[in-house]
A and B are shown apart, each in its own frame.
Chain A
Amino acid sequence: MWATALRWVHPVSILEISVVMFFIKENYSHPSFKLGIKDISSAAPGIAAWGMMIGVAMIQSGMSVFDSVLMTLIVFAGSSQLAAIPLLVAGAPLWVIWATAFCVNLRFVVFSAHLRAYMMSWPRWQRLLAAYLTADLSYVQFVKRFERPATELTGQRSEQAYLAGNCFLNWASWMIASLLGIALAHYIPADWGLGFAGVLALVGVTCSLATSTLKRISSLIGGVVAVLFFTLPLKLNILIAIACSVFLCLTLEMLFVRYKRTVAPGEDGDTYE
């Protein structure tokens, strides 16, 4: 069974396990690696604050230090951890915990559809590793930096290096802060409101994404729909918000932006403002 599993991953995967994508020389020596680090560095304190809060939450909800550290090191997904913690502590059935985490993570499935066009040219092993490490902010900054997937090798190398750099700092600040949160859980009151720094980091990044009228409308729709459906379980309000926002903005774009596209075919980016 293991042999099949390993063959399925990639023939040279065993070697590559030890050379995680941050440490592939082609990545970290590429100028885009630094650019990725620079982009995420501004938001890193927010990520760290949010990570620390999750570390504290795990211990304060009664998880053992071993479980908390293991979860931090391998699960690497704040919102699904937050959803799973009380279930794990309460001893809920495995399938309930896993189904909950899957639903809370559904937004990543949408993101993966978006990232597919960028990533299919990479070897499967690197693709899966990169995806595993690409949390919300890395995805958001990546597709902002590279609005269209590169078609030639130089561009693809640059994309890969950028993502590696961005994920690296995101991962490192998350891990350090989260482990610190576990260690200091008894000294950090949950009510400090530390986690709000994470929300503020997202506020900043959201502002940076609002580059066109349609994107601002998209933001508004997403926010309002998420509030309207807030009482749905499993964070499904976020998924519905993304779906509504995408479909309404596509419709608006077709209704109001088409005339510009006939003027400049192919130039259908954010130029319509």
Chain B
Amino acid sequence: MGTRMNEFWHIICILGLALITLITRSFFFISERQWQLPAWAQRGLQFAPIAALSAVIIPEIFMFHAQVSMPLTNARIYAALGGAIFFVVRKGRGQVVLGTILVGMAIYLPLHLGLGWS
């Protein structure tokens, strides 16, 4: 009985999480009511994508256990730098994001798995 309750509770929880994905991703256009974002806000939002991505990746690259970590043995810095340099050299043409991943991982994996760098 206890486990069945538990299973039921988990399903409700996961359904709720799915609903939260839906609500947050459609938040401002669920309602059909007419309104417009002020022009300045619409202009400002052009900076949101790159700001959001940078806010995700910079801590992932430069931090370790919630501390800024910039020792010479931070493999992620070299990998991200290598990937970014590849992107710039290729001038963003073709499947360049794929190249960024491959170059970055080619730097990261030996340093991380081979030398045990963070």
Contacts and interface: CB of A to CB of B under 8 A. Distances in A.
A102 B27 CA distance: 11
A223 interface: yes
Contacts of A147: 46
A199 B100 CA distance: 10
A8 to B, nearest CB: 10
Interface in B72-118: 76, 79-80, 83-84, 87-88, 92, 95-101, 104-105, 108-109, 112-113
Contacts of B92: 207-208
Contacts of B99: 204
B20 A101 contact: yes
B75 to A, nearest CB: 8
A139 B52 CA distance: 11
A64 B84 CA distance: 39
Q: How large is the interface on B (under 10, 10 to 19, 20 to 34, 35 or more residues)?
A: 35 or more
A209 B53 contact: yes
Contacts of A119: 29
Interface in A228-273: 230-231, 237-238, 241-242, 245-247, 249-250, 253, 268
Interface string B7-43: 1011111111110111111111110100011001111
B51 A202 contact: no
Given A139-B49, A140-B49, A241 B54 contact: yes
B56 interface: yes
The interface centre, meaning the residue of A81, A214, A250 with most chain B CB atoms within 10 A of its CB, is: A250
| Chain A, interface SS category | helix
A132 B26 contact: yes
Contacts of B113: 192-193
Given A42-B97, A106-B24, A201-B97, A209 B58 contact: no
Contacts of A15: none
A105 interface: yes
Interface in A32-67: 41-43, 45-46, 64, 66-67
A112 interface: yes
A224 interface: yes
Contacts of B66: 230-231
Nearest to A249: B47
Contacts of A70: 11, 14
A225 B47 CA distance: 14
Interface string A88-111: 100000100110011001111111
A91 B47 CA distance: 39
A238 B97 contact: no
12 contacts: A74-B17, A80-B17, A108-B27, A113-B28, A199-B56, A204-B100, A208-B92, A215-B47, A219-B53, A222-B52, A242-B48, A245-B51
Interface of A: 41-43, 45-46, 64, 66-67, 70-71, 74-77, 80-81, 84, 88, 94, 97-98, 101-102, 105-117, 119-120, 124, 127-128, 131-132, 134, 136, 139-140, 143-144, 147, 192-193, 196-197, 199-210, 214-215, 218-227, 230-231, 237-238, 241-242, 245-247, 249-250, 253, 268
In order of increasing CB-CB distance, the 7 nearest A-B pairs are A223-B58, A204-B100, A204-B97, A245-B51, A222-B51, A131-B26, A241-B55
